[in-house]
Amino acid sequence: MNPADGAMPVRDEAQDDRAQAIRDALHDAIVERRLAPGAKLVETEVGELFEVSRTVVRASLQMLAFEGLVKIERNRGAFVAHPTPDEARQIFESRRVIEPEIAERATERLTDADIERFQAHLKEEARLLAERGPNARRAAIKASGEYHLLLASVAANQILERFMRELIARSSLVIALYGQSGASSCARPEHADILDALIARDGKKAADAIRHHIDHIEEDLDYKVVASAPLRHVLRL
């Protein structure tokens, strides 16, 4: 093909799939806090682990950078994002704008099947919280975020759902950095309160309940905590 034609390069679908799979694996590791904020992601290491070229690794890192979970620094490489207190506040500010609206929409659309899904989810959250060990804790953290995504899926607006995926993933980084209780920072009884308001078809109450819940999550954060930050961030190098 003559490049002068201005034709787009042919996309390699197999490569796209592999980049997506690596993005998914890294995304889960970041959200479940197996990878710490600020951790370096070495291209060659990721490439060897997944047996793919650096081009594919780069594509997956670009996806994560676009979602705000990875920061790519010129000449230094890629790192798991390390949200500043200001970014953290903006993330929760956005959640306070979006989630009450999602809760109101969900109230209007809730079906009996949705109620069953929520109830099964709350049971699973309770089971995971009762378990001990780091794996159970990771699973509990993931499940508490998924509650919010379930709410977004019931609200049935794909754009809002996509925003929520990003906000929940970034929230988990913020909680990893600034959370004080070390727990998921989602109090489970509040998840039940939100569901009660949905079942009662009380949109205003559902919106208030989720606002209250987000306030609580943020109250558990201490933006002054810097001890866990990597030295290079502390020293601004």
Residues that bind Zn ion (CB under 5 A): 186
Please state the closest distance from residue 49 (CB atom) to Zn ion, in A: 32
Alpha-carbon distances, residue 130 vs 17, 32, 124 (angstroms): 37, 18, 10
Q: 22 vs 197, which CB is nearer to Zn ion? A: 197
Look up tokens 């060897």; give the residue. Answer: 48
DSSP assignment of 45-76: HHHHHHT--HHHHHHHHHHHHHTTSEEEETTT
* Residues 129, 186 contacting (CB under 8 angstroms): no
Q: 192 vs 229, which CB is nearer to Zn ion? A: 192
- Where does 174-216 show beta strands of DSSP type E? none
What whole-number distance in Å separates Cα of residue 206 and Cα of residue 197? 5
Q: 38 vs 145, which CB is nearer to Zn ion? A: 145
Please state the closest distance from residue 209 (CB atom) to Zn ion, in A: 11
The strands making up 70-73's β-sheet, listed across from edge to edge, are 40-41, 77-80, 70-73
Please state the closest distance from residue 190 (CB atom) to Zn ion, in A: 7
* Residues 222, 237 contacting (CB under 8 angstroms): no
Q: 79 vs 147, which CB is nearer to Zn ion? A: 147
Q: 69 vs 186, which CB is nearer to Zn ion? A: 186
Q: 18 vs 193, which CB is nearer to Zn ion? A: 193
Which residue's Cβ lies closest to Zn ion?
186
CA end-to-end span of the chain, whole Å?
Answer: 46
Q: 18 vs 95, which CB is nearer to Zn ion? A: 95
Look up tokens 């558990």; give the residue. Answer: 220
Torsion of CA 193, 197, 200, 203, to 10 degrees: 180
Please state the closest distance from residue 86 (CB atom) to Zn ion, in A: 23
What whole-number distance in Å separates Cα of residue 131 and Cα of residue 137? 8
Please state the closest distance from residue 191 (CB atom) to Zn ion, in A: 6
Please state the closest distance from residue 198 (CB atom) to Zn ion, in A: 14
Please state the closest distance from residue 159 (CB atom) to Zn ion, in A: 21
Nearest to 107 by CA among 191, 36, 195: 195
